[in-house]
A and B are shown apart, each in its own frame.
Chain A
Amino acid sequence: MTTPLLSLRGLTKAYPGVVANDDVSLEIGRGEIHALLGENGAGKSTLVKMIYGLVKPDSGAMEFSGASFAPQDPRTARAGGVGMVFQHFSLFDALTVAENIALGMENAPAMSQLAARIREVSESYGLPLSPDRIVGDLSAGEQQRVEIIRCLLQDPKLLIMDEPTSVLTPQEVSILFETLNKLRSEGTAILYISHKLEEIRILCDAATILRLGKVVGTCVPAETTARDMAEMMVGTTLKTPQRSGATAGEVILELNKLSLPPASAFGMPLREVSLSLRKGEILGIGGVAGNGQDELLGALSGEIRANEGMIAYKGLDMASMGPNARREIGLLSAPEERLGHAAAPDMSLIENALLTGAVREGLVKGGILNWSAARAFADQIIEAFDVRTPSAGNAARSLSGGNLQKFVIGREVLQRPDVFVVNQPTWGVDASAAAAIRQALLDLAESGAALIVISQDLDELMEISDRFATLNEGRLSQPRPAIGLSVDEIGLMMGGAHDEEVTRG
């Protein structure tokens, strides 16, 4: 190989109390898809932010196309030929596709010309997109296309993608991979961040693995097993979640044609969702985000009230019961959004433990809080779920995503639910924490509780579910035994609006 497109030498960036990147070096050649691997907090985000000009390194040097490269801000980086697709989309919901794209360009042409170029580029890369639509109305996959096309319109030499497939259906993933391969054949280099090791093995030419801010290894993904890569990331050997096949017991929760209006302006109504859940089983619910997952969780937790006769738990009608009444009789839930929904960000872990544990753990007597019991409960969660925090008095916000997730899941699991509903239990959580959470869910089912696990991560659902169903446009598919389901079958179950892309892909 001649001079690499991008070379990083000895990049170091420290924040108060933590060295995010410590002497990181790597090289990316033209037309190479380079994977950046690491657990949460390994320093991947900081590294790409330095390349994109959002963060300035404390020391070290970057070279781009053989010349010294030190972008002051994202504009300079974009002008130099670096494009970035963010993990949490940097999009404006209330603006149109064309307006969103114009905002990410240095010299945006007039709107009419831009619309024509968007159509042209989106067609040629197989990412159909209409420029006039409001971004808030688009699916996650379509929103990602907006980001990608925004980058492509500026002919980047290097495209950075942060967890691009975490919100996509298998079909959308294969469309994305085709696009990325086409870009590679045109000479565009791609820096690809992902947790999904199988994808990296298929797609990437080289990989650099970070742990605690340091480069701990490089490998050729196609020649390395996913397990080896995961162990390099974590630094220890991984345990695969285990369960002994228990038999499902009697029906404990029944939904009968549950229909609900959407929870928000950009939400999705639930349409006649029916299912019956048995003791000791895990029902996995897949589907692309925004297809009714939040509404389903809300209806089960009691945040959204359904009409009479739609939800029966232990034979009781749930129509008139709010979240606390449901908790009291053993129907618990953990929503997707950790900060702000599952946990109050600025309250301590003790207070957060109190918030959902008060009823079942007897932390309140006659309206008076029992702080010592609450602290003991919080400590118990921290102990049992290996939550890494200086103390239970720390604010929820100060914990890393994975640790807080272990806390909010642990908080519910330790309350011994009879039915536990959870949305995205391991979203944005690193491999070892995810494995611990999955094991806890399996253990809970083992002990006789019934679980509904809603997730975007199909591998996760296949690993822990007894039965599998999908949500699409607010409708629940017929649950099927999870064992023996193929990826294609799952994709078709998720299908619906994405059917046309299935035939295209």
Chain B
Amino acid sequence: MDLSAINPIILVAALISAATPILLAATGELVAERAGVLNLGVEGMMITGAVCGFIISVNTGSPAIGFVMAAVGGGTLSLLFAFLTQVALANQVASGLALTLFGLGISSLMGQNYVGIKPPRMPDVNFGPLSDIPGLGPILFSHDPIVYVGLLIVAGVWATLKFTRAGLILRAVGENHDAAHALGYKVKRIRTLAIMFGGACAGMGGAYISLIRVPQWTEGMTAGVGWIALALVVFASWKPWRVLLGAYLFGGITQLQLNLQGAGVALPVEYLAMSPYIITIVVLVILSADKSRAPGSLGRIFHASQ
């Protein structure tokens, strides 16, 4: 066993990258849930985003356009969910599960001819001399643009929910849709927008896996990350910064246990492999012991019956 082979700076830099798909997907789902919509289709929207981003990047040669189209792809798929739950008033749990199955199916159909191809690489952001700062440079200033986009989205979601009128209305719709309707807010429209935002974020998260983390296309490559993102939102008590913390914790322990496996730690691999799930859940359960609770109308169907 050789723990000195683990470089803490590289580990931290890697965990930030490893956490980005979960972070994006969970932040999008957080917005949907704060608007009162429980969308269990995150996994399906992620994998659809992954394949859309991959196909577009390969064909255009531009990962940036790929990410944009991944967001569009995830958002489009989420419109199906929005139609089912907001217009057809279908059950949200069943619709979300159906969306995941549908997304997994359609993505493997779309990606049939793309197995084994290498996508164009997205260059890191050039911060010039900043990236040469010892320690901080590799951790903070040596990532691809999507890492920073993800952080901006978290900060933006937090600020919007806390400080803006739009955020207040979104929270109000999630808290009590009947009261919001009585005040004249368009519950269905607001929820549809929140669902689409969630879909777009999940799509980008998926594309981050297929374009940057793995970079290749294989069927079902999101491998349950969407479900982890869903759990993360709940354990983070629907708070954006806690989602960030949870995602980094999960990403960090995932990286650490890989490194530990590489260093030959005398623990069965199975225990190491399960450690990210257990530790993240334990930490967030402890954090969520305060009195914060789920949005009041979460998962409930809204029907404006007069």
Contact = CB atoms under 8 A, between A and B. Distances in A.
B224 to A, nearest CB: 31
B172 A103 contact: yes
Interface in A90-141: 90-95, 99, 102-104, 108
Contact of A265 (B172, B178, B293): B293
12 contacts: A54-B306, A74-B183, A90-B178, A90-B183, A92-B171, A93-B175, A94-B175, A94-B296, A99-B172, A103-B168, A103-B185, A104-B183
A395 to B, nearest CB: 14
A102 B165 contact: yes
Closest 3 CB pairs of A and B: A74-B184, A90-B179, A90-B182
Interface string A173-206: 0000000000000000000000000000000000
A102 B168 CA distance: 9
A92 B176 CA distance: 6
Interface centre among B171, B182, B185 (most CB of A within 10 A): B182
Contact of A73 (B176, B184, B295): B184
A91 B293 contact: no
Contacts of A74: 182-184
Interface size bracket, B side: 10 to 19
A93 B183 contact: no
A11 B66 CA distance: 57
Interface string A8-24: 00000000000000000
A95 B179 contact: no
B16 to A, nearest CB: 33
B272 interface: no
Contacts of B180: 92, 103
A55 B176 CA distance: 20
Interface string B147-190: 00000000000000000010011011001101110111100000
A69 interface: no
Contacts of A73: 184
Given A78-B184, A89-B179, A94-B295, 11 more contacts: A49-B306, A55-B306, A86-B182, A90-B176, A90-B179, A90-B182, A92-B172, A92-B179, A94-B296, A95-B171, A99-B172
A453 B295 CA distance: 34
Interface residues of A, number: 23
A53 interface: yes
A259 B291 CA distance: 23
A44 to B, nearest CB: 14
Contacts of A78: 184
A75 B296 contact: no
A95 B172 contact: yes
A86 to B, nearest CB: 6
Contacts of B182: 54, 74, 86, 90
Contacts of A265: 291, 293
Contacts of B176: 90-93
Contact of B184 (A46, A75, A99, A108): A75
Contacts of A92: 171-172, 175-176, 179-180, 296
Contacts of A104: 183
Interface string B193-217: 0000000000000000000000000
Interface string A59-91: 000000000000001110010000000100111
Contacts of A75: 184
B186 to A, nearest CB: 9
A93 B184 contact: no
Nearest to A94: B175
A103 B167 CA distance: 11
A108 B172 contact: no
Contacts of A94: 175, 293, 295-296
Contacts of A49: 306
Nearest to B294: A94
Contacts of A99: 168, 172
Contacts of B296: 92-94
Contacts of B306: 46, 49, 54-55
B184 A53 contact: yes
Interface centre among A53, A54, A265 (most CB of B within 10 A): A54
B161 to A, nearest CB: 11
Nearest to A77: B184
A109 to B, nearest CB: 11
B169 to A, nearest CB: 7
B304 to A, nearest CB: 9
Nearest to B291: A265
B266 to A, nearest CB: 47
Interface centre among B169, B175, B178, B296 (most CB of A within 10 A): B175
A75 B186 CA distance: 11
A337 to B, nearest CB: 16
B300 to A, nearest CB: 13
Given A49-B306, A53-B184, A73-B184, A91 B168 contact: no
Nearest to A99: B168
Interface in B7-51: none
A20 B291 CA distance: 43
A12 to B, nearest CB: 15
Contacts of B183: 74, 90, 103-104
Nearest to A91: B179
A72 to B, nearest CB: 10
A75 B182 CA distance: 10
Contact of B175 (A53, A89, A95, A102): A95
A48 B5 CA distance: 74
A103 B169 contact: yes
B173 to A, nearest CB: 9
A91 B171 CA distance: 12
Contacts of A103: 168-169, 172, 180, 183, 185
Contacts of B165: 102, 108
A395 B175 CA distance: 28
Contacts of B172: 92, 95, 99, 103
Contacts of B291: 265
Interface string A25-64: 0000000000000000000001001000111000000000
Contacts of B171: 92, 95
Contacts of B185: 103
Contacts of B179: 89-92
Nearest to B176: A92
Interface string B36-78: 0000000000000000000000000000000000000000000
A193 B291 CA distance: 38
A108 B169 CA distance: 12
A53 B184 CA distance: 9
Interface centre among A49, A53, A78, A92 (most CB of B within 10 A): A92
A20 to B, nearest CB: 9
